[in-house]
Chain A
Amino acid sequence: MTPEPENFDALQRLLKLKRCEQPPPGYFNDFSRQVMARINRDATEDRGRSFDRLFWEVPWLGRLLEAFQAKPALAVTFGAAVCALLIGGVIYSASMEYKPAALPTISADAEQATPAPIAPAAFGLSDPAEGTLAATGTNNSLNPIIQPGGSLFDQFRINPQPVSFPSRGNGD
């Protein structure tokens, strides 16, 4: 026993009357413009609120701004001072010359105190000449020289240089 299906045709025709209800003429011409204006206004208010929050969190900034508003001359003076500082800083930094710090030199005593050269075998080098380079002159472990502009690891790079040993004997 199923209930008799109801006929809503007349009601649906009547509901068509709702479709004929129209807003005032030209209403939709202005609608999107109003929405956009409110979006822009909300964005501006949000920015204003963030400024208010900033002034609340940094009260001296607010007082400074109030002072500037009350005395424009103060604002001009402050601005001029900031500009002068900026320009002075630029000029000063431009006039500065780069002077690299003097490298420490090793006295003769200190050179004598230099530990004996590490055996070449310790580096796994076959050529004895290669093993001495780390301890010769100022280019040793006590006087590291960092090349400006190079990698931090350049100082650990082994640069083989030819070394001449004084010849002995033969009466030459």
Chain B
Amino acid sequence: MEFEEIQEIWDLQKKQSMYTVNERELHNLILTKKKQAGKLVNLTELMQIIVNTGAGAFIFQKNYFSLKGNFFLYLLAAWMLATAIYILVGRLRRIKRGKRFDESTRGSLEHAIADATHKVRISQLMRWNIITIALLIVLGMVEGGQSIWIIAGMVIFLGLAFYGSGFEHRCYVSRKRELLSLYAKLEQGQPASI
């Protein structure tokens, strides 16, 4: 078969419609999605900002009003608040960067890769952040004279959190790898001079 014949087969569709659209259902769907729009967007980032700010502020005020201030707990509160600010700045940068990409397939893929890179970086940083937080918590507990068993329990809990966060990080890495592979396919055959 020549390509022109394949083209003729394709053009057969012009003579008849494949589907009919149930416009009422479509309209209802759009109304539902309109209400939902934006609700789930950026939930992870917002949660991280809220949790870090809330926990940081709570630890600070608890420590401030206690009879004997704990240096490591002050450090922990400051660290958590700094983490929240870091995520907030990263989020604002990401939103600003999102406006830079065009609507083509390549632009859309580049946008998705930039978002995936951001998630990989944040999940990696948050993972290592658990170690810093764990260290400050343990030092704070030692300074506060907590029993060795409570400290050991806390270490095990934080160790599990560190291990679990590895799964999340690997998910983002794998998603980014998929996007890069798709991008490489799009770029395949690109002349070297361009």
Interaction A to B: no
